[in-house]
């Protein structure tokens, strides 16, 4: 999963020789590139219909950067029934504490409770 204000393209934009998604796919893994805002490709599968058991019968290696890492921790704490689906979670710079941030993100983060 990508960082705040990013997209799944961040994992492939550097091309086949450098993009993490390409490198992992070349090692034989299926790659799912998530988007926080969703996309039109998220329900297509080459073998299973969305209603079949095989569509969701999988175990994951999760990689998240910044906001994507934070989402991993929140999911595991709020939805513990998903924990047995995750074989390994890797987080790069998870955004878990915003106390020392500066600029617009600091101002916006203070509005999260009133907005909620």
Domain range for residue 35? 8-115
Tens of pLDDT, residues 61-110: 999 998 899 999 999 999 999 898 899 999 998 877 666 777 776 777 67
Q: Is pTM, for the whole model, over 0.95? A: no
Residue 26 pLDDT: 95
Residue 18 CA to residue 38 CA, distance in Å, equals 25
Q: Would residue 3 count as lying in a domain? A: no
The token pair that represents 83 in the structure block:
């924990």
Domain-embedded: residue 1: no
Of all helices (H) and strands (E), which one includes residue 92?
A: strand 86-92
Count of domains observed in the chain: 1
- Asked whether residue 97 is assigned to any structural domain, the reply reads yes
H runs (alpha helix) in the chain: 20-26, 67-78, 104-109, 112-115
Q: Report the 10 Å Cβ neighbour count for 44.
A: 7
């Amino acid at each position: 999963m990508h960082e705040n204000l990013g997209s799944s393209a961040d994992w492939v934009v550097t091309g086949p020789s450098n993009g993490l998604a390409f490198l992992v796919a070349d090692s034989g893994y299926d790659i799912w590139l998530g988007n926080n805002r969703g996309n039109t490709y998220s329900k297509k599968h080459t073998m299973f219909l969305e209603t079949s058991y095989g569509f969701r019968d999988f175990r994951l290696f999760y990689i998240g950067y910044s906001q994507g890492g934070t989402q991993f921790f929140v999911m595991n704490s709020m939805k513990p029934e998903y924990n047995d689906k995750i074989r390994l979670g890797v987080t790069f710079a998870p955004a878990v504490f915003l106390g020392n941030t500066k600029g617009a993100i600091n101002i916006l983060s203070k509005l999260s409770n009133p907005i909620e």
